[in-house]
Amino acid sequence: MPRASQQTNALTVDVEDYFQVSAFAPHIPRHTWDAMPCRVERNIDAILEQFDRHGAKATFFTLGWLAERYPHVVRRIAEAGHEIASHGHGHLRASEQTREQFLHDIRLAKDVLEQQTGQRVHGYRAPSFSIGERNLWAFDCILEAGYRYSSSVYPIRHDHYGMPDAPRFPYYAREGLLEVPVTTTRVFNSNLPAGGGGYFRLMPYAVSRWMIDRVNRTDRRSAIFYFHPWEVDPEQPRIEGVGAKTRFRHYLNLARMQRRLDRLLSDFSWDRVDRVFPGAAP
């Protein structure tokens, strides 16, 4: 099948492990993270091999916590020609931190990632897209910490995140700071989630393909898509005691994820955020 469109879109990976997912926070105390079996190295290797087969480049929004413990993984990503960006240090929601705590976390992550790779880090993504109407001050902190762009807003309604009235396409949240929202498709005066994450596993692939193609052809804009390394890992340890909704969202269709990604990588053209969106890099 020919590619859906000739538009180049931005491919992104939120580099966190299965036990760091925000929905699991009530079940996995932060102080136990170091004792958890880590799967990120195996999963990143699989993703890098898959991207290489398709000639795709991506931006990896990476936790400083993981970069400290697996510096060779971060360097491997950078050496393969992908962009390293920041996902914060400790995977703390911006909405659950004070201004001072948030600024410290994102500065620390930037410093760790730049030391590991020897490259400047320009991009930041808040865990769980946790910048909304109540903490717009976070954009001031991101700019102050030295980032050039953010991808921290998802313009949808969701029980854990979302800013549905935010612009759907890149805009300057502050002078000198470009916000690149995760992609949505506008249908019947509502924003539908087209940018990946759990929705990509929950919906039939044809729906995701149609929505991204609609953004490319109708809106004539590039899309930005994201997923997590744990989503390509159906053998990851199961977390006990989680609720039915969380279990459904996290584990559904993990075994189908890499096949769906193969189709996505074949159907569209993909590159790094800093090369797809003007203003995302110096």
Beta bridge partners of 11: 225
Instruction: Give the chain's residues under pLDDT 50.
Output: none
Q: Quick one: tokens of 235?
A: 């053998």
Query: Taking the domains of the chain in order of start, what are their residue ranges?
Result: 8-276
pLDDT of residue 281: 86
Give the tens place of pLDDT for each residue, 222-276: 999 999 999 999 999 999 888 898 888 899 999 999 999 999 999 999 999 999 9
Instruction: Please name the helix (run of DSSP H) or strand (run of DSSP E) that holds residue 246, with its range, or none.
Output: helix 244-251
pLDDT of residue 189: 85
pLDDT of residue 162: 63
Q: Name 31's Cβ contacts closer than 8 Å, sequence gap at least 6.
A: none
Q: Assess contact for 87 and 127: CB atoms under 8 A.
A: yes
Q: What is the DSSP annotation of 10-70?
A: EEEEEE--GGG-GGGTTTS-GGGGGGSPP-HHHHHHHHHHHHHHHT---EEEE-HHHHHH-
Q: Name 188's Cβ contacts closer than 8 Å, sequence gap at least 6.
A: none
**Could you give the CA distance from residue 110 to residue 160 in angstroms, rounded to a whole number?**
25
Give the tens place of pLDDT for each residue, 207-224: 999 999 999 999 999 999
**Could you give the CA distance from residue 201 to residue 275 in angstroms, rounded to a whole number?**
27
pLDDT of residue 174: 97
Superfamily of domain 8-276: Glycoside hydrolase/deacetylase (3.20.20.370)
Instruction: Please name the helix (run of DSSP H) or strand (run of DSSP E) that holds residue 271, with its range, or none.
Output: strand 269-271
**Could you give the CA distance from residue 41 to residue 28 in angstroms, rounded to a whole number?**
20
pLDDT of residue 160: 63
Q: Assess contact for 123 and 86: CB atoms under 8 A.
A: yes
**Could you give the CA distance from residue 33 to residue 229 in angstroms, rounded to a whole number?**
17
Question: Residue type at 140?
Answer: D
